[in-house]
């Protein structure tokens, strides 16, 4: 058994199982809710005073890195929360490039 989300089958499920308990069963509506939660979290973090106060802080938007055609690329995800090795590598490369562009990459 498992959880199916956006056409992907996962083990026990972590997020959409809670959305179903709230009566949200449509996959597109679930995805829209998850997207809004991530966007709200991003807005809260980017508005944080620490990011504005410290010029060496770096906030990198990785929300779209593992998407294909505006949906999660199935081959890059282990489950509904964790990327596969290749997905983590893509995120790390994205962060590195952003840090280099802001002259914060010192390795």
Q: 37 lies in a domain?
A: yes
Listed residue (19, 46, 85) closest to 3, CA to CA: 19
Residues 6+ apart with CB under 8 A from 15: 5, 30, 34, 80, 81
Per-residue model confidence (pLDDT) at position 23: 93
In a domain, 106, yes or no: no
Query: What local confidence, expressed as pLDDT, does residue 31 receive?
Result: 84
Q: Which residues of the chain have pLDDT under 70?
A: 1-13, 50
Residue length of the chain: 107
Our count of domains for the chain comes to: 1
pLDDT at 12: 59
Residue ranges making up the domain that contains 7: 3-101
The burial class, CB within 10 Å (0-12 / 13-18 / 19+), for 7 is exposed
Looking only at the bridges linking them, the beta strands covering 67-68 and 71-72 are antiparallel
């Amino acid at each position: 058994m498992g959880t199916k989300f956006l056409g992907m089958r996962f083990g026990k499920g972590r997020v959409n199982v809670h959305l179903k308990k709230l009566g949200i069963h449509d996959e597109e509506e679930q995805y829209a809710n998850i997207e809004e939660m991530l966007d709200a979290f991003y807005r809260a973090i980017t508005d944080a005073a620490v990011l504005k106060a410290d010029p060496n802080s770096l906030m990198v938007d990785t929300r779209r890195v593992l998407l294909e055609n505006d949906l999660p690329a199935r081959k890059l995800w282990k489950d509904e929360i964790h990327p596969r090795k290749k997905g983590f590598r893509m995120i790390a490369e994205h962060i590195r490039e952003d840090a280099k562009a802001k002259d914060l990459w010192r390795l």
